[in-house]
Structure 1
Amino acid sequence: AALGFLGLGAQPPLPEWGAMVGDGREFIRSEPWIVTLPGLAILVTVISVNLFGDGLRDALDPKLKRS
């Protein structure tokens, strides 16, 4: 998403959340949902992956298991 926001991601025919946020910057005052929806999708995805990784670490790390 960060590379798409900077213009270094996928090329224009392919949809990308970062590109959607970057393209919607000029419409943020009149139509804020253009930026809000892809931003929320990025937020939910990052938090989900982070929590999933924490859960895997808790389940699989033998150093964290104490009797």
Structure 2
Amino acid sequence: MGDGSTMALAAAAKWFIPAWFVGAGINMAVGVLKAGYSVAEELPIFLFVFAVPALVAGLLWWKFGR
């Protein structure tokens, strides 16, 4: 089932999730530190910004990582 391209896609998705978490965290930090939003205001945005792409990557990892 898994040729080289699907395994590469699964590996990329696996590495994307923690990298995206860091990127979304930096986005949240900029919102709090530079734009003046509170953590409580930024947290729902962080969760959405992180969760949607991470969910897609997780599904790709699950589907092609076997």
What's the TM-score, normalizing by structure 1?
0.40
Q: Relative to total residues, which structure has the larger helix share, 1 or 2?
A: 2
What's the TM-score, normalizing by structure 2?
0.40
